[in-house]
Amino acid sequence: MTIVQGIKRLGAPAAAVLGAVLLGLMLMSLVIDKDAARKSVEAQIRAATGLELVVHGKTDVSIFPGSYVTLHQVALKSENDNSSTLTVDALTANLSLLPIFVRRFEVSDLALLNPHVTVTREANGDSNWTPIIETLARNMKPNTASPVSFSEIRVMQGTVMFRDPARNIDETVDKIDLSLGWPSISRSFAATGQFDWHGERVDGSFGVTDFAAMLAGDRTGLKARIAAAPLKMAFDGATSNRASLLLDGNLTADSSSFRDALRWIGQTPLADGGFGRFSLKARANIVGESVALTNVNVDLDGNAAEGVLTYNGTTGRQTLQGTLAADTLDLTPYIGTMRLLASGARDWNRQIFDLRGLSATDLDIRLSAAKVTVGPSKLGRTALGANLRNGALALSVGEAQIYGGIIKGSLGVTRSDDSADVRAQFRFNDVDLEAGATELFGIRTLRGRGDLIVSLEASGSSAFALAQSLDGTATLTGHDGSISGFNIEQLLRRLEKRPLSGAGNFRSGTTPFDKLSVAISIKDGVATADNVQIDGPTTQVMLTGTASIPSREYDLKGTASLVSAPDAPPGFQLPFVVQGPWDDPLIFPDSDILIRRSQGAAPLLDSLKDHKTRDAVKAVIDRLQGGRKTDPAPAATDTPAIPAQPAPPSSATTSPPSETPSAPPAAAPNSSAN
């Protein structure tokens, strides 16, 4: 009870004192000199920053319930500066309470509502903020006689506009909410908060060890961090600004989608695929707009590499150079969307190329890897180079292990309006023909080893347009291999003995060869077989004709011959025709040759002078040998060539003793006649 009574006795005097204080504050708010309060606040801000305040609006002064001075429509300027580089809609100086009783107005902190900052960079590198920075640097010298009373500045809903007419840069950062730690007691300066840039909310922090040294251009410690949805970056090092801005320290960056990060900062990715997860750690040396990264550890889409990178933006164009080395690289994501053929069709893709990425940035990258994957292709030790300048992309393969051999060459793509000019030159040395033909052309019947030289050029806005304009040459030299799917020797020997026995089951077996020579010239999308020759131990095959690249069809003629000895003249020869689509061509022999070699059919054909009767007999003979049914040919010659399609495998194992043809039953199209 004694304690309670004591508290009650003390409570009455305390309440009286508090009431007196409140009454005094209310009276002071009525009699306070607002002009003196405003001048005191201006003087303290001038002492802290060295900047002059120009107040265009009204002044609000309050002592109770809140102690503050608010200046409306304020501009902060350096001496002899008439520009409006920093304006504030409302500047509020919160006052310390106790000094007010002795008529002193000490600012405890500042709040800037809707500040507007305009930074314009001039052609010589200076800006309209240069006088303000110089004023701040002179004013930040130690002044123990009248120390700054406040150390916190809050920025609410601020806007910063950056203009660089020479580089056509116009950037705006708005909705800035920051808390600034002003160096009133210590030398450090810090800023933390949020702002909006390019439609993304960004969390940021900025810390300087010695703010006065930074303003003077001297070297001091610096830590900076930004975090947004597309990209996170951090820097820890030092800065100076004597002749130009210099940063030296550790740089880290991370992004869940490097494609989104590039678009956020205003860049265009080169390809439609890839550019996903990204991370970077490096030692950074930044001088002006030149960035040099050493000890680089970069990871993009699971591809980890080490090396050096440099970036330069002083020439007006952005240039990225570097040398990187990796253990494994998977380049499939970057070419996965480049489909030459239409999906699910046999036609070339007609979708227009997107070439905007070729004009964004200049690149000069050297890349080496122990293993490289490009789609279905697996490469061994590889050295690659990529150079992009003024919309022209040049890819060079210094040397790469592929298909058991070596590939060297280059690929160039130049943007011309909405189309692309493409040039390709590649040389495959001593490669496995089966692996190469399967992956490059979808041909699975060729085996052996050889060399392939390709030189091509085309122009167009789609894969179909490129195929239509394709020009160039291709040569292939193979040895010690085979062509699977048919046995030419077996077919020729059967037809040599029984010309009208039909093709039989010729789509089986293997034709070996000692030497394979292919020379092709291409003009306006049409490939002409200049020299196609297959030399085997017992056979020889020669082809001529054309192949349409846009329509993907063959129109070839050839001759297959039996060879008894290397230097001996060819024996039995059989002309044949190859026609139809690339993936399923029709191959059929010349029926005239087979008929004339038949001892029974040749006299019968010659005795038929009437071309209608003769064509009817030939049609029957074609059916006997399993050929396709053809329309009667005009009587331009006595013995027109009627190519016959090879028949499907026949179940007949015996032949009639005579070659004189007779019409077979209609229900037995696969029967053979001798």
Over residues 550-597, the pLDDT tens digits come to: 888 889 999 988 887 666 666 788 888 888 887 677 877 766 665 665
Instruction: Give the pLDDT band (50/70/90) at residue 230.
Output: very high
- Picking from 469, 493, 525, the residue at the C-terminal end of a domain is 469
Q: Is the pLDDT higher at 317 or at 47?
A: 47
Same domain, 6 and 69: no
Amino acid symbol at 217: G
Instruction: Give the pLDDT band (50/70/90) at residue 176.
Output: very high
> What pLDDT shows up at residue 167?
77
Same domain, 86 and 148: yes
Q: What is the mean pLDDT of the chain?
A: 79
| Residue 152 belongs to a domain | yes
The per-residue pLDDT for range 437-448, each reduced to its tens digit, is: 888 766 778 899
Binning the chain into helix, strand and coil, the percentages to the nearest 5 are: 20, 45, 35
Q: Domain count for the chain, please give it.
A: 3
> What pLDDT shows up at residue 652?
35
Q: Which residues contact 302 (CB under 8 A, 6 or more apart)?
A: 277, 330
Using CA atoms, how far residue 422 sits from 48, 426, 504, 526, in Å, is 63, 13, 46, 17
Q: Is the pLDDT higher at 613 or at 373?
A: 373
> What pLDDT shows up at residue 642?
37
| Residue 284 belongs to a domain | no
Same domain, 90 and 202: yes
Cα angle: 173, vertex 178, 182; to 5 degrees? 125
Give the separation between CA 410 and CA 412, rounded to whole angstroms.
Answer: 7
Does the pLDDT of residue 300 top 90, yes or no? yes
Within 348-470, strands assigned E span 362-374, 377-389, 392-402, 405-416, 419-432, 446-460
| Residue 528 belongs to a domain | no
- Of 57-66, 203-212, 395-404, 423-432, the one with minimum mean pLDDT is 57-66
Mean pLDDT of 520-527: 95
> What pLDDT shows up at residue 310?
95
**Burial code of 130-149, b = ≥16 C-beta within 10 A, e = fewer?**
ebbbebbbebbeeeeeeebb
Using CA atoms, how far residue 593 sits from 165, 324, 601, in Å, is 81, 63, 11
Does the pLDDT of residue 616 top 70, yes or no? no
Asked if residue 181 lies in contact with residue 190, where contact means CB atoms within 8 angstroms, the answer is: yes
Give the separation between CA 566 and CA 536, rounded to whole angstroms.
Answer: 9
* Interhelix angle 130-139/34-49, nearest 10 degrees: 90
Same domain, 10 and 66: no
Same domain, 77 and 200: yes
> What pLDDT shows up at residue 519?
95
| φ, ψ (nearest 5 deg) of residue 101 | -65, -20
| Residue 570 belongs to a domain | no
Asked if residue 350 lies in contact with residue 343, where contact means CB atoms within 8 angstroms, the answer is: no
Q: Which residues contact 477 (CB under 8 A, 6 or more apart)?
A: 450, 451, 515, 516, 517, 518
Same domain, 18 and 67: no
Amino acid symbol at 32: I
Same domain, 392 and 272: no
Mean pLDDT of 304-308: 96
SS3 532: strand
Same domain, 184 and 95: yes
Asked if residue 556 lies in contact with residue 543, where contact means CB atoms within 8 angstroms, the answer is: yes
Percent of the chain with pLDDT over 70: 73
| Residue 271 belongs to a domain | yes
Q: Is the pLDDT higher at 672 or at 266?
A: 266
| Residue 584 belongs to a domain | no
Does the pLDDT of residue 630 top 60, yes or no? no
> What pLDDT shows up at residue 76?
87
Give the separation between CA 475 and CA 361, rounded to whole angstroms.
Answer: 36
| Residue 120 belongs to a domain | yes
- Picking from 248, 276, 304, the residue at the C-terminal end of a domain is 276
Mean pLDDT of 144-163: 80
> What pLDDT shows up at residue 639?
37
Same domain, 272 and 175: yes
> What pLDDT shows up at residue 236?
97
> What pLDDT shows up at residue 15?
59
Asked if residue 496 lies in contact with residue 659, where contact means CB atoms within 8 angstroms, the answer is: no
Does the pLDDT of residue 217 top 60, yes or no? yes
> What pLDDT shows up at residue 88?
95
Give the separation between CA 193 and CA 205, rounded to whole angstroms.
Answer: 7
> What pLDDT shows up at residue 117?
93
Asked if residue 384 lies in contact with residue 398, where contact means CB atoms within 8 angstroms, the answer is: yes
The per-residue pLDDT for range 28-49, each reduced to its tens digit, is: 555 577 788 888 888 888 888 8
- Picking from 249, 276, 303, the residue at the C-terminal end of a domain is 276
Give the separation between CA 12 and CA 265, rounded to whole angstroms.
Answer: 66
- Of 66-80, 216-230, 424-438, the one with minimum mean pLDDT is 66-80
Give the separation between CA 233 and CA 68, rounded to whole angstroms.
Answer: 38
The per-residue pLDDT for range 365-401, each reduced to its tens digit, is: 999 999 998 877 889 999 999 888 877 888 899 899 9
- Of 148-157, 362-371, 425-434, 501-510, the one with minimum mean pLDDT is 501-510
- Of 10-24, 45-59, 530-544, the one with minimum mean pLDDT is 10-24
| Residue 78 belongs to a domain | yes
Give the structural domain span for 408. Answer: 339-469
Does the pLDDT of residue 1 top 60, yes or no? no
> What pLDDT shows up at residue 224?
97
Amino acid symbol at 186: S
Same domain, 18 and 77: no
Same domain, 239 and 113: yes
Which range, 72-81, 209-218, 292-301, is most confident? 292-301
Same domain, 95 and 159: yes
